[in-house]
Amino acid sequence: MTHRTSVLALASAALLGATALGAQAATLRYANQGDLKSLDPYTLNETTANAHLGHVYEGLTKRGKDLAIEPGLAESWEILDDGKRWRFKLREGVTFQNGNPFTADDVLFSADRVRASGSNFQTRVPADATFVKIDDHTVDVVLQTPNPILNAQWDTWYIMDQEWAQEFGAEMPTPASAETPSHAALNANGTGPFSITVHEPGIRTVFTANPTWWDEPEHNLDEIVFTPIASDATRVAALLSGEVDVIEPVPVQDIERVRASDRADVLTGPELRTIFLGFDQDRDELLYSNVEGENPFKDVRVREAFMRAIDADLIRDRVMRGLSTPSALMIAPELFAHSDEFERPAYDPERARELLAEAGYPDGFEVGMDCPNDRYVNDEAICQGVVSMLARVGVTVNLNAQPKAQYFAKVLKSGGYDTSFYLLGWTPGTFDSHNVLNDLHGCRAEGSPRGETNLGGYCNEAVDELIEQILVESDEEKRNDLIKQAYEITTGEFAYVPLHQQALAWGVADGVELVQRADNQVLLYWARKGD
């Protein structure tokens, strides 16, 4: 080896070392079409918000890359007393980001807070469950009735620090409709792999790696900078120009364009979310309609007419550019074994007009529709398509499309279910039909464990009874049969108009590796950049 080559080798070794260092000081820049409004983990049960906050907060359980339940803040758990008592062993040595230790008191506090008024996660924890502190790191959950899937959704029931919440007067959850944010809505103090160091709603949120995290990080990031970019074209431009590393979603019209670029690629896959339309079938008179003294949506013929007036195939072909699967059920086919036994009622505008006439609305009627415009893939375009399809059967729909912050504040429970007709998407938190039936189809009443996101107030006691049985039935065959019975009732009554399952589409810059989970949670604590 000559002197010159050894110098060269040294220099390249130094260079390599420098790049390695550079790779370690990595900032991942991520843009989503919607904003992160509140940092309070109980404000909004929505996939994007849950994913954001999942970097900071943790639940007693977690879900892995394949969506399987794994231990989180609870190391282990066992079921006692025939399923009426669950014992959770909490992880020791875990601290919140402010330095406070994580103990059983925090779990008890979080259990009360998540069920308090203003929370959007009230059905996460059964109302009649009692939490008992056995010692600092053991908690028992005592139930009135057995619940074999008690912790199935606890990956997004994030545990908060009792002392921190009390210190800053944030004992009560921040409702989505809140005008003045509480301390917990503007700051976060979790146990997770990242902490939030900057939060400017509508501008950016900076997540900084938490050096005191109890687990070994899989990512190689120092910080994540999240920026909301509502405009489709701007978001794609930011990815293609290298301004951001990850975008969600890639607008369906631009997937080919991003694939063709040499700087970024698109990760696609089927999503477990069902996009659907819902009706207010609870009020005696609609809030936004020209029909007075009665509610047309109480009539099953009107609901069927809406179903038949909407051509889901056309929406798939034109609005979604082929990237959606029209759905007969309110759950993705991957999540229910008997899905193929249900068929979407055929598009039939003639029949729709007849049904409206039979129901006493031969000239149709007028109704207001609520629609988000930055939540789901092409949400506003879908709503406009629905408006024009309904116009052709004589129903005049006044579309109110707005950003999800305003939309959710209006239509959810905390906003008083202030809607007559709306578009919403739903991924069951348990990846199971029980959640779909319980949260979207169960009768809602004060203190009821059911119907939290049943914005239209659909109610059938037979379905409620089936939901109870499904919850405790452990034989899979029988359970599926009960689920099928429930869906037969709800689809027969046209409780909702399911539209489709959308496709996942994440834009990822070259050199960034991500794990894409089918529930569309963008979890960057599995991301690696530059290696």
Partner 1 sequence: MQNPAPANDLETEEKAAIDRQPSLLFRALDSDVVASFVRSKLTIAAAVVTVAFLLLAIFAGVVSPQNPFDPAELDLFNSRLPPIWADLGTAPYLLGTDEQGRDLFSAIAYGLRISLAVGFLGVLLAAGIGITLGLLAGYLGGIVDTVVMRVADVQLTFPAILIALLVDGVAKSVLGGQLDEGTILVVLVLAIGLSFWVQYARTVRGSVMVEKNKDYIAAAKLIGLPAPVIMARHVLPNVMGPVLVIATINLALAVITEATLSFLGSGMPETMPSLGTLIRIGNNYLFSGEWWIVAFPGIALAMLVLAINLLGDWLRDALNPKLR
Contact between 229 and partner 1 (CB under 8 A)? no
Contact between 236 and partner 1 (CB under 8 A)? yes
CB of 392 to partner 1, least distance (A): 5
Q: What is the C-alpha to C-alpha distance for residues 279 and 291, in angstroms, rounded to an integer? A: 14
Q: What is the C-alpha to C-alpha distance for residues 371 and 22, in angstroms, rounded to an integer? A: 44
Contact between 218 and partner 1 (CB under 8 A)? no
Contact between 28 and partner 1 (CB under 8 A)? no
Scanning residues 262 to 291, which ones bind partner 1 (CB under 8 A)?
288
Q: Tell which residue, 211, 218, 263, 219, has the closest CA to residue 237.
A: 263
The DSSP code for 315 is I
233 C-beta neighbours (distance < 10 Å), count: 11
Scanning residues 464 to 503, which ones bind partner 1 (CB under 8 A)?
none
Helix (H) / strand (E) containing 186: helix 183-186
What is the phi/psi pair of residue 341, to 5°?
-85, -5
Instruction: Give the CA distances from residue 108 to residues 129, 133, 196, 361, in Å, rounded to whole numbers and listed in that order.
Output: 11, 8, 24, 53
Give the interface segment with partner 1, choosing from 81-89, 210-218, 312-320, 456-464 (CB under 8 A).
312-320
What is the phi/psi pair of residue 333, to 5°?
-55, -30
Exactly one of 232, 280, 379, 432 binds partner 1 (CB under 8 A); that residue is: 232
Contact between 168 and partner 1 (CB under 8 A)? no
Residue 401 or 424: the one with the smaller Cβ distance to partner 1 is 401
Do residues 157 and 125 touch, judged by C-beta distance below 8 A?
A: yes
Contact between 259 and partner 1 (CB under 8 A)? no
CB of 406 to partner 1, least distance (A): 9
Scanning residues 415 to 454, which ones bind partner 1 (CB under 8 A)?
none
Amino acid identity at 136 = D
Exactly one of 339, 384, 448, 469 binds partner 1 (CB under 8 A); that residue is: 384
Contact between 385 and partner 1 (CB under 8 A)? yes
Amino acid identity at 320 = M
Contact between 397 and partner 1 (CB under 8 A)? yes
Exactly one of 7, 233, 445, 462 binds partner 1 (CB under 8 A); that residue is: 233
Site string for partner 1, 338-377 (x = CB under 8 A): ------------------------------x---------
Q: How many residues does the chain have?
A: 531
Do residues 219 and 527 touch, judged by C-beta distance below 8 A?
A: yes
Q: Tell which residue, 229, 253, 23, has the closest CA to residue 241.
A: 229
Give the interface segment with partner 1, choosing from 94-102, 325-333, 388-396, 508-516 (CB under 8 A).
388-396
Please report how many Cα atoms fall inside a 13 Å half-sphere around the Cα of residue 363, on the Cβ side.
Answer: 2
Exactly one of 315, 323, 504, 514 binds partner 1 (CB under 8 A); that residue is: 315
Q: What is the C-alpha to C-alpha distance for residues 49 and 389, in angstroms, rounded to an integer? A: 32
Contact between 531 and partner 1 (CB under 8 A)? no
Do residues 245 and 53 touch, judged by C-beta distance below 8 A?
A: no
Task: Give the interface with partner 1 as residue ranges (CB under 8 A).
Answer: 231-233, 236-237, 240, 251, 253-254, 256-257, 288, 311, 314-315, 318-319, 368, 380-381, 384-385, 387-392, 397-401, 410
